[in-house]
A and B are shown apart, each in its own frame.
Chain A
Amino acid sequence: MTELNLAQAINSALDLALANDESVVLFGEDIGVTGGVFRVTDGLHERYGSDRVIDAPVAESGIVGAALGMAISGIRPVAEIQFLGFAYPAYDQIVSHIGRIRNRSNHRFSAPLVIRIPFGGGIGAAEHHSESSEAIFAHTPGIKVVVPSTPYDAKGMLLAAIADPDPVIFLEPIRLYRAVKQQVPDDDYVVPLGAATTVREGSDVSLFSYGAMVREARRTAEALSGEGISVEVIDLRSLAPLDEDAIIAAARRTGRVVVATESPRTAGMASEVAAVVQERALYSLLAPVERVTGWDTVVPLKRTEHHHVPGPDRIAAAVRRVMDA
């Protein structure tokens, strides 16, 4: 075991994957010599060389399109897009080809590849660097979309994603890269994709979130425990597929549901969780489901960004509302 932050845990997973499987190749902008804009791939180029850790031209569609071709040929590519806000040029490749090749060929060809993408705001970055548009990808057939919030999960989920026979979009919460440390096993291990996890027990309210918002949810739960409100915090971890059974079990247990995301509100993951709850657990509810989200606005720049990315104040307000309902 070694104490690692989230970026180091991802680096450790990539290192192990490269060491254990010769077909694994990393591919992206500035991931080689420089070690990535967030230094997540630091040291891997030196260790594995430029045929395994490949610096790509600045062309996101080309990166993931070439990754699809590589995957078809037998390579296990792990592509990196620098920021979620730069992934849109690659979206056509993802929706039109990566998510479809298995279906199009009735399993004859497939796309076992991973696309790693840092996402989310709260660090006062330039425009396009704070996007939380994961719902677009969760809405896209044929891919899996996962988001770790701890170093342990980051390593185990990334190793699971690389081993997965189908394409996985692996979203990395920028705000947590260096914010959380945890003891992480040095060896290979897998955290299965598709399963939510309870990160804090509680009996009054079920609070769902993922990525950097899990930390805000935990802070909220801790603050509210002083008011005598017991909040259960659930990290969804997988947006596609969504762990509906875990969501329903929690909703039935507490009868009160709040979902906290930093993405735009309309047609977002919070809406999906709310829909699942009303479909399958309506009669267990003691209050309407509350969504605490970013707004249907562009992510504001640094000076007003805090009005967009929900913090404990807004989440706590929603929790109190479902308690008072």
Chain B
Amino acid sequence: MEPIRLLDVDGTLLGDAPVDLDETRRLFGAMVAARAYDTKCTAMQVQGRLATYAPFEGQEAAQIGSIAALRADDWVVATYRDAAAMWFQGYPWMNLFLGRMGDERGGAPPQDVNVLPPSITVGAHMIHAVGIGWGESLQGSDRVAMTFFGDGATSEGDFHEAMNFAGVFATPTVFLCQNNGFAISMPRRRQTAAELLTDKAIGYGMPGVLVDGNDLFAMIGAAREAVARARAGGGPTFIEALTFRVGPHTTTDDAARYRSDDVVEEWRRRDPIDRVRLYLQRCDGWDEAWETEVSESARDVIEEAVAAAESVEPFESGAIFDRMYLTPTSAMVRQRAALRRDGGND
């Protein structure tokens, strides 16, 4: 099966563009901003200002294109590698930085942002998106929940349960699998004997859609169709976005141990941002000064977010007990006092 593709690697439009030129420029800018965040995080990890970081370079179209299909009040349930998607649905850069700096306040986006903090365990979070969308339906809302995960997560038992529940109860869920080639060191073929991950959708009675994940337009098109089906009560969709993690699994990983530079170079030639730039150039929608301006303003915004995150003072010791329950239990009260007695700064 060939993946859906609307933009060729050289920027040629292969079908109808799902968005106009202005929107394309906006989404290009979003991908550029996301990459600036990604680059910044890797640099800050090296400087010891962030904990381990999981880069998403190469997956910007898969994430930004999917979110472009959502309404502002829709839900996103994603992972540690999906900051681009989370941010584009409203999760502030500042919170993303704060979380990676090791502060739970990073997990608290504003009240009107329906994006959960990133899931760190692999594969257990998709069922939360199923429950959220289902709960919205039970309350009469037409909000949709989109959940992001990688190829490795499809091997987890909870992936099966999430897909199965979504199918049985026709929940408004979009399963957005970024097949980026490797689960840490394991190639996709070691995760499943199925030819395609989309084959799995058949077993759960939902459509499975194979998309070129480095093609912004194809991602928007596929996600829009899935979101429309979910919103109309037509149930879930599984989307397999074929993409590639250009960077390592995390900043602690040495990707050279399990894949060759040739493969990486081949995927760099399919870069999702370059592709849209080539398209914009063909449409007279690009010039260097504009991209420089977009990049610089993205960098400014990101530097401001870093400064805001780094200016947040650490919690006092009592906070570790105060955020476990709405009202601290007797155990929390006693343990808080014990820590204060023995060296806490509460």
Contacts and interface: CB of A to CB of B under 8 A. Distances in A.
Interface of A: 23, 25, 51, 56-57, 59, 61-62, 65-75, 77, 89, 92-93, 96-97, 101-110, 141-142, 144, 165-166, 194, 240-245
B46 to A, nearest CB: 26
A69 B135 contact: yes
Interface stretch (B5-13, B52-60, B265-273, B321-329): B321-329
B158 A75 contact: no
B134 A107 contact: no
B158 A108 contact: no
Contacts of A67: 131
B325 A142 contact: yes
Nearest to B332: A241
Contacts of B177: none
Given A59-B165, A74-B135, A102 B330 contact: no
A71 B325 CA distance: 15
Contacts of B131: 65-73, 77
Contact of B138 (A70, A110, A240): A70
Interface in B146-195: 157-158, 161-162, 164-165, 168
Given A67-B131, A97-B125, A97-B128, A72 B116 contact: yes
A104 B165 CA distance: 25
Interface string B113-125: 0001101010011
A73 B139 contact: yes
B129 interface: yes
B127 A65 contact: yes
Contacts of A107: 108, 323, 326
Given A62-B165, A69-B145, A104-B117, 16 more contacts: A25-B138, A57-B165, A66-B128, A69-B131, A70-B131, A73-B75, A93-B158, A97-B125, A102-B323, A104-B107, A105-B116, A106-B323, A108-B107, A242-B330, A244-B334, A245-B330
Contacts of A244: 330-331, 334
A62 B127 contact: yes
Contacts of A102: 323-326
B132 interface: yes
Contacts of A57: 161, 164-165, 168
Contacts of A51: 138
Interface in B24-71: none
A61 B108 contact: no
Contacts of A106: 104-105, 107-108, 323
7 contacts: A65-B128, A70-B132, A97-B119, A101-B116, A102-B326, A108-B107, A108-B111
Given A59-B165, A65-B127, A72-B116, A165 B135 contact: no
A260 B105 CA distance: 42
A94 B109 CA distance: 23
Contacts of A165: 325-327
6 closest A-B pairs by CB? A69-B131, A73-B135, A62-B161, A65-B127, A108-B108, A66-B131
A65 B161 contact: yes
Contact of B136 (A68, A73, A77, A245): A73
A103 B75 CA distance: 20
Given A62-B164, A65-B131, A194 B326 contact: no
B130 A104 contact: no
A61 B121 CA distance: 14
A108 B110 CA distance: 8
Contact of B108 (A66, A89, A105): A105
Contacts of B326: 102, 107, 110, 165-166
A62 B169 CA distance: 12
Nearest to B110: A108
B329 A61 contact: no
Contact of A93 (B124, B129, B145): B124
Contacts of B161: 57, 59, 61-62, 65
B135 A105 contact: no
Contacts of B162: 62, 65
Nearest to B118: A104
Interface in B217-263: none
B127 A144 contact: no
Nearest to B139: A74
B255 to A, nearest CB: 27
A109 B116 contact: yes
A295 B79 CA distance: 42
A56 B169 CA distance: 9
Given A107-B108, A142-B324, A72 B165 contact: no
B16 to A, nearest CB: 35
B168 A96 contact: no
Nearest to A23: B139
Contacts of B332: 241
A138 to B, nearest CB: 10
Q: Which of A61, A92, A97, A105 has the most CB of B within 10 A?
A: A105
Contacts of B325: 102, 142, 144, 165-166
Contacts of A194: 329-330
A183 B136 CA distance: 39
Contacts of B75: 73
Given A105-B107, A109-B116, A142-B325, A65 B138 contact: no
Nearest to B328: A241
Nearest to B111: A108
B135 A70 contact: yes
Contacts of B136: 73
Contacts of A72: 116, 128, 131-132, 135
Contacts of A70: 131-132, 134-135, 138
A75 B330 contact: no
A66 B165 contact: yes
A70 to B, nearest CB: 4
A63 B109 CA distance: 27
